[in-house]
Amino acid sequence: MNNSISYVLKRIHDAVNSDDLNTLSDCYGDQANVVATPLAGAAQHDCVSALQHFQQRFMPEQLVTTGDEVVIEAGDVALVIAKLYLVPKNAPNALPIESKRAVYVMQKQADNEWRCIIDNFFGTDLLDFA
pLDDT in tens, the chain (130 residues): 456 999 999 999 999 888 899 999 999 998 898 886 666 666 667 788 888 887 787 778 888 888 899 999 999 999 999 998 888 888 878 888 778 889 999 999 999 999 999 998 777 777 776 6
Based on the structure, what is the number of domains in the chain? 1
pTM, two decimals, is 0.85
C-alpha to C-alpha distance for 127 and 10, rounded to whole angstroms: 25
For 83, the domain range is 5-129
C-alpha to C-alpha distance for 67 and 19, rounded to whole angstroms: 21
User: Looking at residue 83, which CATH number applies to its domain?
Assistant: 3.10.450.50
